[in-house]
Amino acid sequence: MTKSLPQNNGFMLFCVLSEAKGMVIKMNKFNRIYPFSAIVGQEEMKKGLLLNAINPKLSGVLIRGEKGTAKSTAVRALAALLPDIEVVADCLYGCDPDNITVMCSSCRGRLEAGENLPRKKRKMKVVDLPVSATEDRVVGTLDIEQAIKKGEKHFEPGILAQANRGILYVDEVNLLDDHIVDVLLDSAAMGVNTVEREGVSFSHPANFMLVGTMNPEEGELRPQLLDRFGLCVNITGILDPLQRVEVVRRSVLFEEDPENFARQWEEEEKKLRKQIAAAKELLPAVKIKDDMLFLIAQIAIDMGVDGHRADLVMMKAAKTMAALNGREEVIEEDVRRSVDLALIHRMRRKPFQELSIDHEKLQDVISGFFDKECP
């Protein structure tokens, strides 16, 4: 027998739904992203993130700093700042419908068969990688049984598939298993994730901007892994009382009324969006002359870095810096401003020695270079 509900249950249900709706509204209100341009100080961190947003070939940025220095805030703010991207609507990897060279095998096959791929626009995604993630969770899994029995490749996508054409954010990257970090850096450098199990392999696009954050007090990354991050930033808490007060003021204003706070910074955000879009468009046309390449090489030699990755990253960062500033040719200032980001984590150092750049020595290297004739 069905028992009828009391008459006032409808009213109670309305109250519950209204309260739930109110909770959603409040959650939406407080889930607003803090504006990138409103972050006080931390200019090196913002510069490293912007350069990677403009030029994904920089192979990511590692942000090292103590707790409470806006590391996570800056990453999420950057994603909100970037323009929407067009994707294949029903693709697991969010392939670019206009670029067959970086499509997954499924989208490429459909396009070659003459199909019009469905399109949609989406926001730039920030995909979080938890510290406890296993290799299968990161790279995805292959169903070996189905491959052997039916000859079909059945792939279950992982975090790298979700991050394609987005931002992969790894908090506490120094606490991840070294092998997982290696997999991330390989994919970030190559733009492809390949999974191999029992002689069966599957590949898919994995073009993402890699951002790792860490607190050095909790342990360091091995030098080999440090070197694989294109750029690195060391940040600390702000020591200027005026700036610290401004941090508090803005934080309070944002917490009290995030909508109004966002409106106050919308003009600055629009300017930054336009600057990023213009820089991305200009970057392929930016040239670097031989004298700047020789300067980069001399800096790498005299500052005592190992290998050639430092030279390559400095060159890419300097070109991106020029594009960000609206120039079609790299100048000395672009090289100088890229040095800290490209070299700080590649400098030879003793155990327990802090990462740092000797700026007096750097100035001597640059001055000495221009005092003699370029080869």
Q: What is the pLDDT of residues 53-105, one digit of tens each?
A: 999 888 889 998 878 788 888 888 988 888 888 998 888 888 988 888 888 88
- Tell whether 200 is covered by a domain: yes
Average confidence (pLDDT) over 145-168 = 78
How far apart, in whole angstroms, are the C-alpha atoms of residue 252 and residue 261?
10
Q: Do 61 and 209 fall within a single domain?
A: yes
- Tell whether 279 is covered by a domain: no
CATH number reported for the structural domain that contains residue 347 in this entry: 1.10.8.80
- Tell whether 138 is covered by a domain: yes
- Cβ-based neighbours of 1, under 8 Å, separated by 6 or more: none
Q: Do 61 and 186 fall within a single domain?
A: yes
Q: State what percent of residues in the chain have pLDDT above 90.
A: 24
Q: Do 145 and 56 fall within a single domain?
A: yes
Report the sign of the C-alpha dihedral through residues 76, 82, 84, 85, in that order. negative
How far is C-alpha 295 from the chain's CA centre?
Answer: 28
Quote the pLDDT of residue 10. Answer: 40
Q: 45 is in which domain, residue-wise?
A: 36-84+123-235
How far apart, in whole angstroms, are the C-alpha atoms of residue 110 and residue 20?
43
How far is C-alpha 338 from the chain's CA centre?
Answer: 17
pLDDT in tens, 13-36: 334 333 333 333 333 444 578 899
Q: Is 309 a catalytic residue?
A: yes
Average confidence (pLDDT) over 177-206 = 82
Q: What residues form DSSP beta bridges with 197?
A: 200
Q: Do 297 and 211 fall within a single domain?
A: no
Give the pLDDT band of residue 349 (cuts 50, 70, 90).
low
Which helix (H) or strand (E) element contains residue 201? strand 200-205
Q: Which of 217, 235, 253 is the last residue of a domain?
A: 235
How far apart, in whole angstroms, are the C-alpha atoms of residue 318 and residue 257?
39
Which of 76, 309, 327, 336 is the catalytic position? 309
Give pTM, 2 decimals.
0.79
Q: Do 186 and 78 fall within a single domain?
A: yes
Pairing mode of beta strands 126-128, 192-197: unpaired
Of 75, 61, 35, the closest CA to residue 271 belongs to 35
- Cβ-based neighbours of 53, under 8 Å, separated by 6 or more: 78, 81, 82, 209, 276
Q: Which two tokens stand for residue 85?
A: 């991207």
Q: For residue 194, what is the DSSP state?
A: E
- Tell whether 343 is covered by a domain: yes
Number of CB atoms found within 10 A of residue 79's CB:
21
CATH number reported for the structural domain that contains residue 211 in this entry: 3.40.50.300
Q: Is 32 helix (H, G, I), strand (E, B) or coil?
A: coil
How far apart, in whole angstroms, are the C-alpha atoms of residue 29 and residue 183?
37
Q: Do 300 and 230 fall within a single domain?
A: no
- Tell whether 167 is covered by a domain: yes
Give the pLDDT band of residue 330 (cuts 50, 70, 90).
very high
Place of tokens 């092998």: 179
- Cβ-based neighbours of 159, under 8 Å, separated by 6 or more: 127, 129, 133, 137, 138, 168
Q: Do 161 and 292 fall within a single domain?
A: no
pLDDT above 60: residue 191:
yes
- Tell whether 73 is covered by a domain: yes
Give the pLDDT band of residue 315 (cuts 50, 70, 90).
very high
Tell me whether residue 17 is exposed, middle or buried, using C-beta atoms within 10 angstroms of its C-beta: 0 to 12, 13 to 18, 19 or more.
Answer: exposed
Q: Do 69 and 147 fall within a single domain?
A: yes
Whether 259 contacts 89, CB under 8 Å: no
Number of CB atoms found within 10 A of residue 88's CB:
22
Number of domains in the chain: 2
- Tell whether 21 is covered by a domain: no
Quote the pLDDT of residue 18. Answer: 37
Q: Which of 235, 264, 298 is the last residue of a domain?
A: 235
Instruction: Give the residue ranges of DSSP H helices in the chain.
Output: 9-30, 43-54, 71-81, 105-112, 135-139, 144-150, 159-163, 178-190, 223-228, 241-256, 258-264, 266-282, 290-302, 309-324, 332-343, 359-371
Quote the pLDDT of residue 345. Answer: 82
Of 170, 159, 71, 84, the closest CA to residue 122 belongs to 84
- Tell whether 48 is covered by a domain: yes
Of 220, 256, 248, the closest CA to residue 68 belongs to 248
Quote the pLDDT of residue 146. Answer: 64
How far apart, in whole angstroms, are the C-alpha atoms of residue 70 and residue 44?
12
Q: Do 364 and 304 fall within a single domain?
A: yes
Q: Do 181 and 311 fall within a single domain?
A: no
C-alpha separations of 339 from 126, 134, 170 in Å: 28, 35, 24
How far apart, in whole angstroms, are the C-alpha atoms of residue 216 and residue 235?
11
Average confidence (pLDDT) over 292-296 = 93
